[in-house]
Structure 1
Amino acid sequence: MSPKGTQQAKDEDNIGLSLRKENAWSDTYQFYLFENFWCPSIHFQAVNNFKKEFQAKDTDFVVASFPKSGTIWLKAITFSIVNSQQFSSLEDHHPLLSSNPHELVPFFEFIFGGDDIHSQILCLSNMAEPRIFGTHTPFPSLPVSIKESNCKIVYICRNPFDNFVSAWNYFNKIKPTTVSELTLDEAFELYCNGIMEYGPWWSHMLGYWEESIARPDKVLFLKYDHLKEDTNFHVKSVAKFLGCPFTEEEENNGVIENIIKLCSFEKMKDLEVNRSGTYGKGGIEKKNFFPKGESGDWVNYFSPSMTEKLSKIVEEKLSESGLSFKMCS
């Protein structure tokens, strides 16, 4: 690490020491309450670097999401739409057949997590356009260059009930074998208090929701359940928003249906590239990125008292915003 990088790491360590902390769901790292959201300590340096150093281009696309809301699905769809002219989803050489969506649409929080940031910035500047990135960072904490440029953000979230169950199952799957599982009640208490990666979930959703209302040409706000209910309609909406709508000929030739099929959980989870191997510094097994993805599965986990408690929180946090979720009970 360069002297400058060493000093930066020391400065960030000092900042981290002054922040409120909570144990993360996996119990292998901590959350820092940074800029009013719970930043994983393992991503703290990267989030800082991302905010300070990233220079957006007007042609960039960003897939933003709250964790466990259909991120990998939206990444695959966005990549396929943007590259539909270059790659046919029916062809054997489509990148999604040999690479995980997280590899094709990398997280800023992973890109900026290394020591040699300047080399990484150089690589980013030399990337072919349009560039597509992913992020879990809340809207208020995004770099100024993203907010002020003409780059476009597609955001996805999920109803808080299913989001909680998906997160609880996921973090228990990826925890080290030496760490005991987080009980449903323990996780629920944390979730109700907003303590989850990049949470609170309500402020994360509201940040992008409010921006999508103020600047509909800048942020497209999607709900997982809506995307699942009418995938064809929303794939067309995403394509139009990104400035690459499908032609009538493409629609007649089944391009949209092919993209939907290629990006489906059923297709992606059966690919060898997603059945084996790991992703990221934490070595997360790729197969864990493809859960059941069912809407309404929360009813198999929630007690009446849990339903009542979370319903009240949703009403309290979201009622005045106009953002609501359909209950699948």
Structure 2
Amino acid sequence: MAASDSDPPILPLLWDEDNEGLSQECRDLIATLPAEPDWFTQKLYQYKGLWLFKRIVQAVLNCQHHFQGRDSDVLLITSPKSGTTWLKALTFAIINRKSHDPNPTRISSTHPLLTANPHILVRTLEISLYNGHAEPDLSLFSSPRLFASHLPYVLLPESIKSSRRKKVYLCRNPKDIFISYWHFMNTLRREIQENNMMENFFKQFCRGVNLYGPFWDHMLGYYKKSLEDPNKIMFFEI
């Protein structure tokens, strides 16, 4: 499985407002999108009803244009701070149980989860694969390929939506998401903590103006699809 670096170190690059590296298509699109200031970055842009950093908009375009899925693929989907790391580790252990015994009493010291972050083992499409790369090399990913994403259903590539490949959606209480997101972003950007009032961010979160928000639109998009075709989308909550 190909891996170079994990998702977390890439995150600060995503809120860079510089247009360098953005395609003309993306720049033209960004110019037409509603924008609002974000308490942790500079701006969020509303694309098809959801709020994204401009570099994620570019990654979404890259993914939509170039990602070619396989029926054996498995895609893990969450809103940020919904148990993504846990879901990645659990699913990786299940899929690779034949080559790496997950039983704690028999687990080998060579098990990948003992030495690598789950974000390295299960790459996120729009953050670590298609961010800065229009066509990343996916040839080294063994089958069944396991990917993750925070994208709402409406922004998934058509090759994912129209295929038989499995999608797993993990939902978390939005109150817990808010608190986790608040602490996580303050840890990443300590220089802005004093000026970052929780009350202001809470109001913004309730309005749905947060990364990959609104929460309810994100969650309901997958919940409704899971009711239509439970064999394609497994929806569960923690």
TM category (shorter chain) comes to 0.7 to 0.9
Alignment of 1:1-329 (within 5 A): 9-27=23-41, 29-89=42-102, 90-109=107-126, 110-115=128-133, 117-118=134-135, 120=136, 123-177=137-191, 180-224=194-238
Residues 37-65 of structure 1: per-residue CA shift (max 9 Å, x gap):
00122312111111221111000000100
Q: How many positions carry a matched residue from both structures?
A: 214
Q: Give the TM-score normalised by structure 1.
A: 0.62
Preserved contact between residue 167 and residue 234 of structure 2 (Cα < 8 Å): yes
Identity, in percent, stands at 36
Regions of 4+ moved over 6 Å: none
Which letter does structure 1 place at the counterpart of 2:113? L
Q: Give the TM-score normalised by structure 2.
A: 0.85
Preserved contact between residue 212 and residue 219 of structure 1 (Cα < 8 Å): yes
Which letter does structure 2 place at the counterpart of 1:91? S
Residues 212-247 of structure 1: per-residue CA shift (max 9 Å, x gap):
1111000011112xxxxxxxxxxxxxxxxxxxxxxx
TM-superposed deviation, 1:125: 3.8
TM-superposed deviation, 1:7: 10
Secondary structure, aligned partner of 1:18: coil
TM-superposed deviation, 1:108: 0.3
Cα separation, partners in 2 of 1:126 and 1:7, compared to 1, 3 Å: same
Which letter does structure 2 place at the counterpart of 1:192? C
CA separation in 1, counterparts of 2:65 and 2:32? 20
Residues 138-184 of structure 1: per-residue CA shift (max 9 Å, x gap):
01110110011111011111111111111111111111525645211
CA separation in 2, counterparts of 1:223 and 1:68? 13
Task: Name the residue aligned to 1:294.
Answer: none
Which letter does structure 1 place at the counterpart of 2:67? F
CA separation in 1, counterparts of 2:26 and 2:201? 28
Residues 249-308 of structure 1: per-residue CA shift (max 9 Å, x gap):
xxxxxxxxxxxxxxxxxxxxxxxxxxxxxxxxxxxxxxxxxxxxxxxxxxxxxxxxxxxx
| RMSD after superposition | 1.7
Which letter does structure 2 place at the counterpart of 1:177? E
Preserved contact between residue 67 and residue 167 of structure 1 (Cα < 8 Å): yes
Preserved contact between residue 186 and residue 192 of structure 2 (Cα < 8 Å): no
Using the TM superposition, name which of 181-190 and 206-215 deviates more: 181-190
Greater fraction helix? 1
Structure 1 unmatched runs, 5+: 1-5, 225-329
Preserved contact between residue 212 and residue 221 of structure 1 (Cα < 8 Å): yes
Preserved contact between residue 24 and residue 40 of structure 1 (Cα < 8 Å): no
TM-superposed deviation, 1:17: 1.5
CA separation in 2, counterparts of 1:36 and 1:50? 18
Cα separation, partners in 2 of 1:167 and 1:181, compared to 1, 3 Å: farther
Preserved contact between residue 25 and residue 171 of structure 1 (Cα < 8 Å): no
Which letter does structure 1 place at the counterpart of 2:93? S
Cα separation, partners in 2 of 1:136 and 1:37, compared to 1, 3 Å: same
Using the TM superposition, name which of 190-199 and 164-173 deviates more: 164-173
